[in-house]
Structure 1
Amino acid sequence: MSGRPRSQQYALVNLHLPILLVYAFGLVVAGLWYSRKVSSTRDFFVAGRQLGAGLLFSTMLAANIGAGSTVGATSLGYASGLSAWWWVGSAGFGSIVLAFWIGPRIRAVAARHDLRTVGDFLEYRYGHSVRALITVMLWFGTIAILAGQLIALAWVLNAAIGLPKSVGCLLSGIVMTIYFSAGGIASSARVNLIQLTVLLLGFALALPLSVDSVGGWDVVTGVADGDYGNFWNGPNSGWILIPMLVPAFIVSPGLLQKVYSATDDRAVRVGVGATAVALLLFAVIPPILGLVALSAHPGLENPDLALPTLLMESVPPVVGSLGLVALFSAEVSSADAILFMLATSLSQDLYRRYLSPEADDVTVLRVARLAAAGGGALGVALSVVAESVIDVMTIFYTLVSVSLFVPIIAGLYLRWTRTPEILTAIVTGVTAVLVTHLAATVQIGISAMVGLIVSVTTAGLVGAARISMRQERRER
């Protein structure tokens, strides 16, 4: 906040701090209030399968507009320009596929067989070995994306009230863990509606006022000359994000399990379809805010601070406070989807499946809440030592795309696929990502592309070999 006199800085802290505290307290109270009706794992995991199109839209959009779509995408806009559109735009493309093809189909399977997690689907389709492998891999990957949300929240608190990053990560982790652990998806879906309203209102006010503060659109478009004006490609952004992000937003467990909660296929098509449209439109905002921040505050050492700094320095204080609260909403609403993945994977996919198959609903619900708390603690620990929002989120999105895309798509549309080819696809795809990443410095998205190609190819080869061998045995 070096751009304002010290007296104004203290005044801003006095304004922002109570607003953020009241809002955070309100989220916790709302989560605890809605959790009163959550008494079973069916409510906690899939909200009783009673989410209509409206609630599904709000909880899906709130989950998708998080640290990567706000702080992360704006930092890409600050560093790369208009090509940052592809970070959120790719999520919109993935949501279109989820809305009209994958979502309705997997929801129907889940409802018919009372499946509550993606792990349930993987075991139903391929057996327990695939479920166990994916559960372990994604649990560690999910910690990374949770850390990304906490880093973004910490930078918001740092810019607003000067809190050290480590303290901001800790406080943010406490807030999101308490309100989610109480009620799971049944309560978070309703709290997400509050968060989404605040988020959209904050950005709707902050965008035009921040543009006006730097001299209008002519100044912003002037900054977008040269490489910054290249829509298709930029440093760590552009169309190359497609192989990493589009599959992730089709098969992410946190999103699929929200789809499980829908009342029917129409709710999925309408709710998730509306989410896709909103994401494609929202994708324009972070690159513009990044360019505005570049105009107003060139030379920031940490691009992750571009958006918080812009809200603190370049808009009226009241609007800045609302914008910071909107950011807080965005990160917390995404974090609850992540905690949901952590809670369900440990309680349903590991505890009930392998450790205590006879456990009743009360016990599994308690384990789910403890798993969310434990995952939150690990996320805080990683966020304290990690630096960049985009870096840690890239780990998760790449892992999800490469490990889950083939199992989910093949499980829904290719009846001939079996466990051997799926295990091969997962292991070879993830191995290819690691080898590509370690062997050379590659642009973001390249390792995911290589992993997907290897995963699809090896699954096809193993499947073809298995079918050929089976036919030979029959002919004998």
Structure 2
Amino acid sequence: MVREIIAGIVIVYILGMLGIGYYFHQKGIADLEDFFLAGKGAPWYLIALSFFATAIGAGGTIGLSASTFEAESITAFWSYGIAIFSFFIVAFLLGHKLPKTRNITLPSMLEDRYDEKTRAAAVPFYLLRFISTLGAQWLAAGTIISFLFADAITVTEAAIIGAIIITAYTVMGGMSAVMWTDFIQGCILFVGLWLLAIIGMMNLGGFSSATSQVTDVAPQAFDLFAMKWTLIAGYVVTLVPTMLVRQGYLQRIMSAKSPRDGFVGTTLNGIIGLAFIPVPLIIGAIGLVMYADIQNPQLIMPQMAMDILPDWLAGVVLAALAAAIMSSGDSFLLSGSSNVVDDIYIRYLNPEAGRDEQTRISQITVVGLMIFSLGLALVVPGIIDLIVFGAVALTGGVLVPWLATFYWPRGTSDAAFWSLIVGAGLTVAWWWIGYFAGTSEYMGLHPVFIGLPMSILLFFGISLMQEPEYEKALATARKHNLEDLERKTKRAMNQGEQRKPPTIEDTD
């Protein structure tokens, strides 16, 4: 009876999410900006909670609790804690700038600042990133949904159902629907899982008793620094730069209605994330006592919710948990589709497409990307491991020219292209070598440590050897209302004029 009640609540919850998608569909979608960036009208609170729900996803909920259980330590904190801390850096560097931009995707911004070939070089890596991420999200959603329905449906069937639901409200309402569903899911997830953690500790006799029982099982369970400092440093170096080029996250900021909303929303997302991170760690640690013999550690969180929460609350929390996994899926689905539509279809196949045609193609692309990524995940699951290098390639190749777009007007188009190609190429090559050697860090080096330094060297080296392209930087600054970049560019142009040697005409 308990499972029937919970399943009923989950179904009502999902219907509510679909209702939100239908509501925004009825309001109408004017253009690509409306579909992919919510019409650039998102307030700070919507950005914060939808950002949080997207960033947490499967890895920050069931994944983090499972990692704590398997490692018998809360050191799994570092993998997500550092990533969340990096959102403050994102807010500082890009929070005020991205809401002013007029582009849909990051590669299109690279073309504005540099040239077409730089944009074309970046697009494949973004698509690889989204395809691999989506595949993993569908399978995670399938695992939870199948569990909620007492294995009445298989994981494969549940993954298909979850993918269809997410795609439905994404197609209907675009970014507005995605952000509002994520907002609701983020609120319920934060409150519900904190309640689960607190009630879980009370179930073991309170905080002191719970920590004592956990440390009896795993003495280092609450030693945050049981991990080697070199690994922690590795997380810092790899995770922080990655957050600066993750389009699925940055499009949240690009959707803000003002620079203030973009900055405040991103900063608040970091605060909420840091306040949430202890939850899956606590639940994973409690699982060491309550579920010592569990076969699948990823089910600790949903199993605990069913065992110790009232039926109605367990239903809401489990629905939000499943939806949190979906919230990452809808964001990456929408973001990947924007690359296909804006960077490929409109840029090369049909530049004259009208607004209705653009919207229709966007919706078709969302469905197509879902089918393609789901098919790969279900039919050839191992391929997800083989194409995940798209994520590290972005950090190794796109990061430097991307940040320079806003901060260094001296950068040139050739420098951007070659730093992206070589940096991403070396990163991917090192990843492949490690893959066949059976390690993620061949010779003890993460692939980013190979590609990123070369990308930095090439970008600044080539730029300084070539003539400045200040006119491009100035045009980009004016198009996107980047006042700081415009001031820097004009100052550099004036200094360049002053350093020029006098000509014959000047001496006459």
Is TM > 0.5 for Structure 1 vs Structure 2?
yes
Cα distance change of structure 1 residues 156 and 462 upon mapping to structure 2, 3 Å threshold? closer
Tell me the SS of whatever aligns to 2:351: coil
Alpha-carbon distance between aligned partners in 1 of 2:425 and 2:261, rounded to the nearest angstrom: 38
TM-score (norm 2): 0.82
Q: Aligned pair 1:337/2:331, yes or no?
A: yes
Tell me the SS of whatever aligns to 1:174: helix
Q: Identify which of 172, 177, 186 aligns with 1:196.
A: 186
Q: CA deviation at 1:347?
A: 0.9
Q: Identify which of 142, 148, 151 aligns with 1:160.
A: 148
Q: Aligned pair 1:357/2:312, yes or no?
A: no
Q: Identify which of 138, 150, 157 aligns with 2:138.
A: 150
- Tell me which residue corresponds to 2:278: 284
Greater Cα shift, 244-253 or 426-435: 426-435
Give me the identity figure in percent: 24
Alpha-carbon distance between aligned partners in 2 of 1:301 and 1:184, rounded to the nearest angstrom: 38
Q: Identify which of 190, 210, 214 aligns with 2:200.
A: 210
Q: Identify which of 278, 292, 295 aligns with 2:289.
A: 295
Q: CA deviation at 1:151?
A: 2.0
Q: Identify which of 461, 464, 480 aligns with 1:464.
A: 461
- Tell me which residue corresponds to 2:88: 96
Q: Given that residues 345 and 351 in structure 2 are in contact (C-alpha distance below 8 angstroms), is that contact kept between their aligned partners in structure 1?
A: yes
- Tell me which residue corresponds to 1:87: 79
Tell me the SS of whatever aligns to 1:104: coil
TM-score (norm 1): 0.87
Alpha-carbon distance between aligned partners in 2 of 1:232 and 1:406, rounded to the nearest angstrom: 33
Alpha-carbon distance between aligned partners in 2 of 1:377 and 1:30, rounded to the nearest angstrom: 23
Q: Aligned pair 1:186/2:162, yes or no?
A: no
Cα distance change of structure 1 residues 176 and 394 upon mapping to structure 2, 3 Å threshold? same
Q: Aligned pair 1:131/2:126, yes or no?
A: no
Q: CA deviation at 1:222?
A: 3.8
Q: Identify which of 22, 28, 33 aligns with 1:32.
A: 22
Q: Aligned pair 1:62/2:53, yes or no?
A: yes
- Tell me which residue corresponds to 2:129: 141
Structure 2 counterpart of 1:460, one-letter code = L
Cα distance change of structure 1 residues 241 and 391 upon mapping to structure 2, 3 Å threshold? farther
Cα distance change of structure 1 residues 235 and 19 upon mapping to structure 2, 3 Å threshold? farther
- Tell me which residue corresponds to 2:484: none
Q: CA deviation at 1:203?
A: 0.8
Structure 1 counterpart of 2:158, one-letter code = G
Alpha-carbon distance between aligned partners in 1 of 2:95 and 2:390, rounded to the nearest angstrom: 21
Deviations 1:148-181 (A, max 9, x none): 2222211211222113110111000000000011
Cα distance change of structure 1 residues 318 and 375 upon mapping to structure 2, 3 Å threshold? same
Q: CA deviation at 1:196?
A: 1.7
Q: Given that residues 121 and 421 in structure 2 are in contact (C-alpha distance below 8 angstroms), is that contact kept between their aligned partners in structure 1?
A: no
Cα distance change of structure 1 residues 85 and 292 upon mapping to structure 2, 3 Å threshold? same
- Tell me which residue corresponds to 1:398: 392
Structure 2 counterpart of 1:211, one-letter code = M
Alpha-carbon distance between aligned partners in 2 of 1:393 and 1:87, rounded to the nearest angstrom: 21
Alpha-carbon distance between aligned partners in 2 of 1:89 and 1:135, rounded to the nearest angstrom: 29
Alpha-carbon distance between aligned partners in 2 of 1:251 and 1:115, rounded to the nearest angstrom: 15
Q: Aligned pair 1:242/2:236, yes or no?
A: yes
Deviations 1:224-250 (A, max 9, x none): 523773436279975533333322222
Cα distance change of structure 1 residues 444 and 331 upon mapping to structure 2, 3 Å threshold? farther
Alpha-carbon distance between aligned partners in 2 of 1:329 and 1:222, rounded to the nearest angstrom: 35
Map 1:296-315; keep pairs closer than 5 Å. 296-315=290-309
Q: Aligned pair 1:327/2:321, yes or no?
A: yes
RMSD: 3.0
Alpha-carbon distance between aligned partners in 2 of 1:250 and 1:445, rounded to the nearest angstrom: 25
Q: Given that residues 142 and 159 in structure 2 are in contact (C-alpha distance below 8 angstroms), is that contact kept between their aligned partners in structure 1?
A: yes
Greater Cα shift, 236-245 or 404-413: 236-245
Greater Cα shift, 185-194 or 228-237: 228-237
Tell me the SS of whatever aligns to 2:30: coil
Q: Given that residues 99 and 254 in structure 2 are in contact (C-alpha distance below 8 angstroms), is that contact kept between their aligned partners in structure 1?
A: yes
Alpha-carbon distance between aligned partners in 2 of 1:445 and 1:276, rounded to the nearest angstrom: 32
Cα distance change of structure 1 residues 171 and 403 upon mapping to structure 2, 3 Å threshold? farther
Cα distance change of structure 1 residues 59 and 75 upon mapping to structure 2, 3 Å threshold? same
Deviations 1:389-441 (A, max 9, x none): x9799655434433432222122212222233333333333333334332444
- Tell me which residue corresponds to 1:5: none
Cα distance change of structure 1 residues 232 and 93 upon mapping to structure 2, 3 Å threshold? farther
Which is higher, the Rg of structure 1 or of structure 2? 2
Structure 1 counterpart of 2:109, one-letter code = F
Give the unaligned 5+ runs of structure 2: 469-499, 502-508
Cα distance change of structure 1 residues 393 and 279 upon mapping to structure 2, 3 Å threshold? farther
